[in-house]
Chain A
C-alpha cells in the first residue's frame, strides 16, 4: 500500500489521474482487461472484418491463394449488382416486406398477447409457455416445419383442403406466394419473442400507478393508453430494434426451404451464395454485404444517436 501511495504522490497533480492511481495494481489490471478484451474482440471480430468487407467490395477475388491475387476493380461490383444481378431487387423488396410485416403483425399481436397474459388469467403460465415455445426453436427448424405444412403435394394445408392431388397450390414454389407462407411461420415465432419482451415490460410497470388510474375512473383502454404504454417506453425501443435486427438477419428459414431463390431472395442469402460455395466471388459478395451494412446503419445510427442524447440528458 505504501508503495502505491508513493506512486500516487509522485504522479502529476491531475485530478482524474490521481483518482485512477488510488486503485491497486490488481484493480487496474482487472479494469484494463475488462475494458480491453471486449474492445479487442469487437475490433478484431466485428470492425476489422466489416471494414475488410468494405475494402474487398472494390475487388474481385476467388478466395484462393494469397492477397496478391486480388484485383481491384473500383465500383464495378456495385454497378453489376444494380444493373445485371436479377436477384438483387427482389432481395431488397423481400427484406422490406419482412420489416413491414414484422412491424405490423408480430409487434401489435405480441403486445396484445402480453397484455392478456398480464391479467393473471387462469393457466397463464401454460399459455405463456405455449406461445413462447416457437422462440426456442431455431429458424432452421421452423423452415423444416414450413415444409411440412406448406409442401404442395405432401404438406398439411394442401392435403387438408384437397389441393394436394388436383389444382395444386404451390405454396413453396410460386414466387408470389412463398414469401407469404414463410412470413406466416416467421411471424408465428416472432410473436412469442415480442410477447415475452412486452410481458417483462408490463411486469415492471408499477401496479400502484394502475391502481391510481383505476381510482381516478380510467377504463382498461385509458389506463393502458395513458399509464402503461408511456411507462413501457424503454421496452418499446428494444422491441423496435429487435424487429429491425430480426428482419435484416432473416436467413435460415428461406435457406432451408429453397436456398433463398425463386421468390425467397434475401440480402443475407445473396451474400452467402456468392461467398460460400465451390467457387467464391468474394468481391461481389462483399459489395452485397456492404449494402446490407449501409441499410443496417440507416436504422442503427438514429437509434444510437437518440440513446446517447438521452444519456447526456441524464
Chain B
C-alpha cells in the first residue's frame, strides 16, 4: 500500500529508523482501514495460503516442531493446545510445547536463546524483536512471509521486520490498552464514559461519592503503571515524543516528562487503597466485583478475568484526551507473535508451522478459546468476536499511531531495572519528581552509552 518502497533498503541507523517508524505507525491506520475494506477479499487470500500449506513442500516439512511458549497459565495454554491440534490436522506436524511461566520466560529469554532454544517460540513485536534480531539470535522468516504476505496489512509487515529489512516475526494476536469498566455498573449508576481529562476527573469524583474506588490501580507488578505512563505521555507530549523518549534514552530530565508526573499526581487520590501491594489480577477483580469504577489495563489481561457470561459486560473507552493537539490519536496495542530460533532442529517444520499460524484460519481457532485478543491476520470472521473484541478492533483501527507498551518500546535493560523502581519511588514520594527524573536521566544516558 502506501508504505515507503525504500523501507527494506534503509540503513540501520537510528535516525532513519525513527523516521521510518513514523511512516510505519501512520500506515497502520491505513493498513487497518484497508483491512476492513478487504474483508470480502481476505478470506480468499487466506484460503490460498491454506492451499499452499497442504501442498508444495510438505515432503520436507514433517515430524515434530518444538515450541517454547510463555503461556503456561490455564487459559491461553488450553487455547494453544487447541491450536496445536488443528495445526496437526492441517499440516501433519506434531507440535511439542515447552510451557514456561510468562514472566519467567521473559526474564530468561537471553539465556534461553543463547542456550538450546526450541524451534519456534512466543515473542513480541517492537524493540523486543529488534533487540534479538540485532543480536543474531533468531532466524529470518522471509520464506514464510512469501506465503503469508497476502494475509497481512503493510503495517503488520512493518512491525515484523528487523532493522535489516528481513522478517523475523509472524504476528499472531494483539490487543489494546484502554480504560476498562463494567458496563452494568456504569448503566446502574448512570456513568458516562469520559473523553477528556476534566470529564475523567469529574467521573472519578462522582464514583468516589458513591462509595466506590474510582480507579482500580495496582503497582505490585508494574504493568498498569507503565501503561498509564505511556498514555499520559502520549496524550500530553504526543506520540513521536513518547517513542523518541523510549528509543533514544534522552530528554528524561525535561519539563515535558515532569508534566506527565504532575498530571499523574491528580489521579492518586482516586486510586485503589493499598495499590502498591496489589497485582493487576486483584485490580481487575475490583472491576469485576463492581467495587471499583475504571482501570487502565490491556484487554489481554482483564479479558481473562471477565470470562463466560461476564465477557460481554466488559466495556472500555480510549484513555481521555489531555491536549487537544494530540487528542486520542495513539493507542497502545502490543503485538504478540512467533519467532524461529537461530538454528532450529526442524527448520522446514518450523517454517511450515509459522505459515499455518500466519493464517486467519489458525488465529480464529485460537481466538475461539481465548477471547481476550484479536487476530493480526486479515480475513477473520468478526461476527464470531465477543463485544469487547469487536470494540477492540474498532479502537485500534481508529488510531493514528500504535505503540507497543513501555517494556516493548524501549531497551529491556532500561524498562524493568530503571523505570519500575522510578515509578514506584514516584508513588512513595509524589513530590520529588525532579529528583527521580534527573536520576532516570543519568541512568538512561549511562545505559544507552554502554549499549550502543
Does A274 reach chain B (CB closer than 8 Å)? yes
Chain A 279-291 against B: per-residue CB contact (8 Å), 1 yes, 0 no? 1110100000000
Does B109 reach chain A (CB closer than 8 Å)? yes
Does A278 reach chain B (CB closer than 8 Å)? yes
**Residues in B neighbouring A84, C-beta threshold 8 A:** 439, 442-443, 446
B334 to chain A, nearest CB (A): 14
A149 to chain B, nearest CB (A): 12
Partner of A173, one of B274, B422, B439, B442: B274
Residue with the highest number of chain A CB atoms closer than 10 Å, among B219, B413, B428, B442: B413
In contact, B417 and A273 (Cβ under 8 angstroms):
yes
Does B38 reach chain A (CB closer than 8 Å)? no
Partner of B450, one of A65, A73, A261, A277: A73
In the assembly, what is the distance between CA of A64 and CA of B128, in Å?
Answer: 15
Partner of A86, one of B111, B411, B439: B439
Residue with the highest number of chain A CB atoms closer than 10 Å, among B276, B277, B420: B277
Does A201 reach chain B (CB closer than 8 Å)? no
Does A252 reach chain B (CB closer than 8 Å)? no
**Among residues 154 to 170 in chain A, which have CB atoms less than 8 Å away from a CB atom of chain B?**
154, 166-170
B437 to chain A, nearest CB (A): 12
**Residues in B neighbouring A150, C-beta threshold 8 A:** 277
In the assembly, what is the distance between CA of A264 and CA of B439, in Å?
Answer: 20
Q: Which residue of B lies closest to A167 (CB)?
A: B273
Does A107 reach chain B (CB closer than 8 Å)? no
A200 to chain B, nearest CB (A): 38
Q: Which residue of B lies closest to A150 (CB)?
A: B277
In the assembly, what is the distance between CA of A273 and CA of B220, in Å?
Answer: 16
**Residues in B neighbouring A153, C-beta threshold 8 A:** 274, 278, 282
Partner of B274, one of A168, A262, A274, A281: A168
**How many residues of chain B get a CB closer than 8 Å to chain A's CBs?**
41
Q: Which residue of B lies closest to A262 (CB)?
A: B424
**Residues in A neighbouring B108, C-beta threshold 8 A:** 276
Does B447 reach chain A (CB closer than 8 Å)? yes
**Among residues 412 to 452 in chain B, which have CB atoms less than 8 Å away from a CB atom of chain A?**
412-414, 416-417, 420-422, 424-425, 428, 439, 442-443, 446-447, 450-451
In contact, A64 and B135 (Cβ under 8 angstroms):
yes
In contact, A64 and B110 (Cβ under 8 angstroms):
yes
In contact, B413 and A276 (Cβ under 8 angstroms):
no
**Residues in A neighbouring B422, C-beta threshold 8 A:** 86
In the assembly, what is the distance between CA of A28 and CA of B384, in Å?
Answer: 77
Main secondary structure, interface of B, reads helix
In contact, A262 and B106 (Cβ under 8 angstroms):
no
**Residues in A neighbouring B98, C-beta threshold 8 A:** none
Does B107 reach chain A (CB closer than 8 Å)? yes
In contact, A262 and B428 (Cβ under 8 angstroms):
yes
B176 to chain A, nearest CB (A): 23
In contact, A278 and B109 (Cβ under 8 angstroms):
yes
In contact, B274 and A152 (Cβ under 8 angstroms):
yes
In contact, A175 and B428 (Cβ under 8 angstroms):
yes
**Residues in B neighbouring A57, C-beta threshold 8 A:** none
In the assembly, what is the distance between CA of A1 and CA of B108, in Å?
Answer: 58
In contact, B137 and A279 (Cβ under 8 angstroms):
no
**Among residues 273 to 320 in chain B, which have CB atoms less than 8 Å away from a CB atom of chain A?**
273-278, 282
Partner of A278, one of B110, B274, B282, B424: B110
In contact, B412 and A277 (Cβ under 8 angstroms):
yes
Does B34 reach chain A (CB closer than 8 Å)? no
Does B184 reach chain A (CB closer than 8 Å)? no
In contact, B446 and A173 (Cβ under 8 angstroms):
no
List 21 interface pairs A-B (beta carbons < 8 Å), by A numbering.
A65-B135, A80-B442, A83-B442, A84-B442, A86-B422, A167-B273, A170-B277, A173-B275, A261-B421, A262-B428, A274-B417, A276-B111, A277-B106, A277-B412, A278-B106, A278-B128, A279-B411, A279-B412, A279-B414, A279-B451, A281-B413
Which A-B residue pairs are the 7 nearest by beta carbons?
A173-B276, A173-B277, A278-B412, A279-B412, A152-B274, A279-B413, A170-B274
19 additional A-B residue pairs with CB within 8 Å, beyond A175-B276, A277-B416, A278-B412 = A62-B413, A85-B443, A151-B282, A152-B278, A153-B278, A169-B274, A170-B274, A173-B275, A173-B277, A258-B220, A261-B424, A273-B416, A273-B417, A274-B417, A278-B128, A278-B131, A279-B413, A279-B451, A281-B447
